[in-house]
Chain A
Amino acid sequence: MKLMKTLLLATAMVAVAAGAAQAKQLVYCSEASPAHFDPGPLTGGNDFDATSHTIYSRLVEFAPGGTEVTPALAESWEISEDGLEITFHLRPGTKFQTTDYFTPTRDLTAEDVVFSFERQWKEDNAWYAYLEGMTWDYFQGMDMPKYLKEIVAVDDLTVKFVLNEPNAPMLANLAMDFASIVSKEYADKLEAEGNMAAFSTQPVGNGPFQFVDYQLDTVIRYAAFPEYWGGKQPIDDLVFAITTDPSVRAQRLIAGECDIMPYPAPADIATLQADPNLTVMEQEGLNIGYMSYNVTEAPFDNVKVRKALTMAIDKAAIIEAVYQGAGQDAKNLIPPTMWSYDNETAADVYDPEGAKALLAEAGVTELTTDLWAMPVSRPYNPNAQRVAELIQADWAAVGVTANIVTYEWTEYRERGKQTDRKGPFQIGWTGDNGDPDNFFATLFSCAAIGVSNYSMWCNDEFEALIQEAKTTPDQAKRTELYTKAQEIFKAEEPAMTLAHSRVFMPMKKTITGYAMSPLGNHSFKGVDIAE
């Protein structure tokens, strides 16, 4: 019986699909399966592409292809004089998606906004732990519980965020994926049915595309949401074809099995560029690949040793061999596209003789150290193992013996955080929200030691500058503070800043309207296929 029903339903669906043969379909060869479809607890870029950028919207959103915060579900907002209250005015008449599993009866209200955050925040909220073992990674990671005092629904279309202290990056935080707005009406329905887990498998939002179907590890299907607040999308069907191997993705694109793909292997870029049917968009990535010295470990506690070891590395060779041209030498911690970037900083020079002299000056003759290499490919460092092999050879030339060590990825980071870790540690970062604070404070503040400050570096002067910048609303003043911070960073060399990678996005020539996001996410809002 059940089989018959499925069969009939499916036949009907095929008929519909056949009838709508003219429907515009865009196939995106995505790099990994999403864990599920609730953006709140998710952490991976691939998770967000499949959820927050398709199904959901936020109060404010980053402009397409930028990091500038623009109105979205909130048409406008005011920040109080003391910087402690942000009041959002919601867009009236905003619809939630109608799917086979849920039909909304009301439009978006302030209640939905309050629910979207309180479920991540208040432990007594029924949804705080609705999936086994879940954590609200970004809500915690962006320190929201520390800054938020309360969120008040003033009326149906007005919602007020009250803060404990002024926080310059807060607005940008609210544009991040974890801050996606969900439907309280849908949540209530599932709670009443005792089927809360479905919230993560049958999503409902008010983003440009609505969820149709997901076949585990294979394909996700979306349809344009006709009543999207920003207008119906030009394409009718959006398909994510999950293809984990980058070379296979490139092959599929060349063979026409998909229209657009992220993260090509550096080795394939030239081939893709040469293909007459394809264009390869490219952009500076908002990222940094670096190698942290443990400044509490001898002899890396000596700034001369750190300088010398950096000097001994042929960064240009690494960028050619590993990034294969898709990277840019990093002289600062933050990438050049970010405001407050200090262009005056002098780039590291490759000088093995100078390095030897400096090591001798520091009294280091025989040095044997571990050299950590990540086991995975990351946008900011496509192949840390290969980087390590190159550094190993460079250091050997100045009399430093390096043993390459690696662990499984979570284990790797866990061990890297230990304050007594031995040896320089390769790692990197992709910006979350385009604010410099997201680099400086997250990676090198004193509070981040044991969390994400892999250099164990706590410099009073640097710390004072970045803390002041965090609470200063004026961008010009902040730029000044961050510039000083970058000078100190360079002088102290707590880490060797290796490269900012360029990000490539190969696609068919017929695709129009795609904007690459510096934040590394992939959104198909406004994308069309030319006939």
Chain B
Amino acid sequence: MSQIQATPTPIKASTGAGFREFWHYFAVNRGAVIGLVVFTLLVLIAIFAPLLAPHSPDQQYRDAILTPPIWDAMGDPRFLLGTDPVGRDMLSRLIHGARYSLFIGLFVVVGALFVGVILGVLAGYFGGWVDAMVMRVMDIILAFPSLLLALVLVAILGPGLFNAMVAIAIVLQPHFARLVRAAVMAEKNREYVMAAKLSGASHIRLMLVTILPNCLGPLIVQATLSFSNAILDAAALGFLGMGAQPPTPEWGTMLATAREFILRAPWVVTFPGLAILITVLAINLIGDGLRDALDPKLKRS
């Protein structure tokens, strides 16, 4: 939801040594390592969801509607974290939900990155009216509160997970465009670019092969931030009934459809929220680690 400004500083061409240096700085940050471990676990859970989940996420046990978690006296050993209002196993739904959340993050980041980088490079490299046009459009998108804009876009496209992802990608993409544009503008008059230009490199080659890798650091940090923002925004849209539609086991949607049970069956509301929090926290921890490792300014102290 927020922007932490990453300074556009190049990391030198990534070699084995570069990676070792990076890992050295990253590993210093204990939080980042924990985040990475949790995130890896989540990815594994998502990949192996059908094997790990004790039940199918859509299987309705009509005899066990709203069963509390196992540590409750009323719990049922079949359902570790209880069941939801139509008798589906919460744990299985949460496990499958990891797939959706991670996929949402990935889709949005890839989409926003792709569009944002193209627009940013074009604006930064060519300048002039191209730059003015692109940047005004970005200004317009940024003038709307992002959640509100995403809501309106989803209302236009129709509620649903895919449309929600598209809307979020559109809303997040200007941050990439701005970042890349600034980096490209800073880089394009440097000696190595000039040298490449003189040796007859084409525009595309200059932009993609020469300049872009040098603003990779801040882009990676921004991508991590967007990943967590995408998950939060998608959950918020789901919560407002505009995201994934039931019976999809997306965490925000699970929370929204079970909201009325907050007093009677707190587990159906607590666990999806906790799942979102843990995932986003893990990604943000990684983001912090990446920023520290990729930002030489902080390395100094």
Contacts and interface: CB of A to CB of B under 8 A. Distances in A.
Complex: A in contact with B (CB within 8 Å): yes
Interface residues of B, number: 22
Nearest to B58: A393
B299 interface: no
A32 interface: no
Given A321-B62, A386-B85, A390-B86, A265 B245 contact: no
Contact of A389 (B246, B261, B264): B246
Nearest to A270: B264
Nearest to B259: A247
A321 B65 contact: yes
> In this complex, which of B241, B260, B261 has the most chain A Cβ atoms within 10 angstroms of its Cβ?
B260
A267 B246 contact: no
Interface in A375-400: 375, 383, 385-386, 389-390, 392-393
Contacts of A375: 159, 241
B262 interface: yes
Nearest to A404: B245
A468 interface: no
A285 interface: no
B67 to A, nearest CB: 13
Contacts of B260: 246-247, 265-268
B185 to A, nearest CB: 44
A324 to B, nearest CB: 9
**Contact residues of B: prevailing secondary structure:** loop
Interface of A: 246-247, 250, 265-268, 270-271, 314, 317, 320-321, 375, 383, 385-386, 389-390, 392-393, 404, 406-408
Nearest to A408: B155
Interface string B90-127: 00000000000000000000000000000000000000
Contacts of B296: none
B263 interface: yes
B279 to A, nearest CB: 25
The 10 A-B residue pairs with the shortest CB-CB distance, nearest first, are: A265-B260, A267-B260, A267-B261, A267-B264, A389-B247, A317-B62, A393-B60, A385-B246, A321-B86, A271-B263
Interface of B: 58, 60, 62, 65, 85-87, 155, 158-159, 241, 245-247, 257, 259-265
B158 A407 contact: yes
A389 B259 contact: no
22 contacts: A247-B259, A247-B260, A247-B263, A265-B260, A266-B260, A267-B85, A267-B263, A267-B264, A270-B264, A271-B264, A317-B62, A321-B62, A321-B86, A375-B159, A375-B241, A385-B245, A386-B246, A386-B257, A389-B60, A393-B60, A404-B246, A407-B158
Contacts of B263: 247, 250, 267-268, 271
Nearest to B155: A408
Contacts of A407: 158
A208 B149 CA distance: 45
B65 A320 contact: yes
Contact of A314 (B62, B262, B264): B62
B60 A390 contact: yes
A268 B264 contact: yes
Contacts of A270: 264
Contacts of A317: 62
Given A267-B261, A385-B246, A386-B86, 11 more contacts: A246-B260, A247-B262, A265-B260, A267-B263, A268-B263, A271-B263, A271-B264, A317-B62, A385-B245, A386-B85, A390-B60
Nearest to B158: A407
A271 B261 CA distance: 11
A328 to B, nearest CB: 19
Contacts of A386: 85-86, 246, 257
